[in-house]
Chains A and B, each alone.
Chain A
């Protein structure tokens, strides 16, 4: 560890103390050494990055960065009939974070520049030639092909995922809600107030609602994952059974559910179960019931219906996966079990199930985390309804954390609370993943079934 730190900082020490004048000037003017040594492409790139950095900082970044501590102090005012815009907290926070990253990135480039100078100097000292411009360029398609391949994807992820997530994490510590909308109003840092509100069970807090929504989210994910898993496995075994004909036909029928866009099928099913829907219509007509069954109105019934409908969606997917795996189990295992007098259930218990569970452990985990965030099924079926007086912040009885988050963002523009919920979702997902992943048999014992 100590050596690594030493090695990391060695180029800087070298440049400051032992480097020649070209290297020393490169400490301030990036790419200077490379340019003088004839490495035009490298030198120009470094120089352009430095110029770009300075221009960005002076013309744009600095003014936002400076206000990051307060998120703006000058409120927007009406002077006579004109609106005089003050600070925009949203922009300050977003570009403040961006500037922080630009500075960090620049420091990295600066370091790479110095390291490159040192290496060049050492090569020349040994009497070797520096790689030509052409060679440097060509290496981007060979030795450094990874940089070419990853440059755009990494940038894209940074701008459209990393930056927004960091922004929202910061928002969780502000009072950015419907009373503090930029650009008309300022918002500011409030520390852990939002978290306190989420976790306090008093009259002003929403702790009870949060616990209820969280509990339903976990219950839903458990049911949705394991019911679908075992039923899907059962259906796959049924189709795989010796003597069943038209195997491909049955599979194709089930796979239709994956092929048809969910918003079409789920919205139809939602109407199918509605109070004035087809199911209630027939049941009323046949005289089975005298008043419609309140599938989406009664909280408990709504929850059960969602889980049932989700079986319709989940089985085909699991069936596909299980089919492939069942074929991989060596037939002679069953053969020898049969000779020993095992019946079907025993063979399932001691051959099929352990094998499938072992192989699909990681898949089960991803299914579980996907279900924790299964927005489509819940939102298209119930939109989180039915509403309940006992739940605060417009949460409904079937709301998952993510649909609650969505409603807070879109309907209530309560961004700071939505951000807090988002962080909670992250914590739940991360904890579940970590705990389960480390206890998976296929992770602990990779060779177990090979």
Chain B
């Protein structure tokens, strides 16, 4: 009886591992393909740079990477743009979210519930609805085309207060008694916020900053609209998406893969290092809704 149970356990474990290996292969496949394709040369003398029917390149070359760094395109500029946007958005958005979350979690003021409901309803409008209006507003300040980078930062930061849910949920779990104790000792609200709440919120600060940092790398829609026609202020997503959608994509496919690797590697490493905080944030957010 006991041995048969054990054998059953053992077979089910083997099955589970086989299943997991299959899942891993499926999940890793696009990334492996991306890496391999990025090492295939686009130089017709060496190999074909378009779509082929084999995965492993016949010759490995760094032609695509050389092309990206050669200055024939603004690749480095696009990369820099994206980093600038990501860093500033991450910084300011975190500050805004912390401020809003503290106010909504700890203070009770007239219009508090109204504000929360109102923002909830606003969030139900699709974001792209307002694109032309935002474009026009930015244009008034000269923040489109040549000035698209600061413009994109401004728009991303301006509306970030509405994304307070996860952070407020975290603040709500910090006992209020701590605040009260400090306030009885004569600390002002501001002092409590800066010297108590913020140091205690390291996980949620890292989570907020990480999510804010990741978003601009994928921002295609609004970025392409605001920077339209001005190559120098594109971000990587806008610039490189063109390489895939152009009619001449056969010439650019391997270059796109190489660029994609250059974008993905640092972002992925950063994410993996901070994964713990990300998991904490999403699980906390999901449970509290």
Check A152–B264 contact: CB distance below 8 A: no
Given A145-B190, A253-B28, A263-B220, decide whether A239 and B272 contact each other with a Cβ distance below 8 A.
Answer: no
Chain A residue at smallest Cβ distance from B164:
A153
* Selected contact of A262 from candidates B52, B218, B272, CB within 8 Å: B218
Residues of B within 8 A of A23 (CB): none
In B113-165, which residues have CB < 8 Å from any A CB? 115, 119, 121-122, 124-134, 136-137, 154-155, 157-162
* Selected contact of A94 from candidates B55, B96, B136, CB within 8 Å: B136
Segment touching B, from A297-305, A390-398, A403-411 = A403-411
Check B286–A321 contact: CB distance below 8 A: yes
Chain B residue at smallest Cβ distance from A270:
B244
Check B268–A141 contact: CB distance below 8 A: no
Check B237–A268 contact: CB distance below 8 A: no
Residues of A within 8 A of B124 (CB): 369, 426, 429-430, 433
Count A-side interface residues using an 8 Å CB cutoff: 100
Chain A residue at smallest Cβ distance from B122:
A161
Among B125, B126, B155, B218, the one with the most A-chain Cβ atoms within 10 Å of its Cβ is: B126
In A404-422, which residues have CB < 8 Å from any B CB? 405-406, 409-410, 415, 418-419, 422
Check B275–A255 contact: CB distance below 8 A: yes
CA distance A20 to B232 in the complex (A): 63
A241 contacts partner chain B, Cβ-Cβ < 8 Å: yes
Residues of A within 8 A of B119 (CB): 157
Segment touching B, from A50-58, A119-127, A185-193, A356-364 = A356-364
Chain A residue at smallest Cβ distance from B13:
A243
Given A244-B17, A321-B283, A363-B286, decide whether A263 and B237 contact each other with a Cβ distance below 8 A.
Answer: yes
Label chain B's interface by main secondary structure: helix
In B24-81, which residues have CB < 8 Å from any A CB? 24, 26-28, 30-31, 33-34, 37, 50-55
Check B30–A269 contact: CB distance below 8 A: yes
A285 contacts partner chain B, Cβ-Cβ < 8 Å: yes
* Selected contact of A256 from candidates B27, B54, B130, B278, CB within 8 Å: B27
Check B53–A285 contact: CB distance below 8 A: yes
Segment touching B, from A10-18, A30-38, A198-206, A276-284 = A276-284
In B66-124, which residues have CB < 8 Å from any A CB? 96, 99-100, 102-103, 107, 109, 115, 119, 121-122, 124
Chain A proximity of B189: nearest CB distance (Å): 4
User: Which residues from chain A sit less than 8 Å from chain B, CB to CB?
Assistant: 90, 94, 138, 141-143, 145-150, 152-154, 156-157, 159-165, 167-168, 235, 238-239, 241, 243-245, 250, 252-265, 267-272, 274, 276-278, 280-282, 284-285, 312, 316-317, 320-321, 323-325, 359-363, 365-366, 369, 373, 375-376, 379-380, 383, 401-402, 405-406, 409-410, 415, 418-419, 422, 425-426, 429-430, 433
* The 10 residue pairs across chains A and B that have the minimum distance between CB atoms: A281-B53, A362-B289, A153-B161, A164-B130, A422-B129, A156-B158, A164-B133, A264-B260, A259-B271, A145-B189
User: Which residues from chain B sit less than 8 Å from chain A, CB to CB?
Assistant: 9, 12-13, 16-17, 19-20, 23-24, 26-28, 30-31, 33-34, 37, 50-55, 96, 99-100, 102-103, 107, 109, 115, 119, 121-122, 124-134, 136-137, 154-155, 157-162, 188-191, 193, 214, 217-218, 220-221, 225, 237, 240-241, 244-245, 253, 256-257, 260, 263-264, 267-268, 271-272, 275, 278-279, 282-283, 286-289
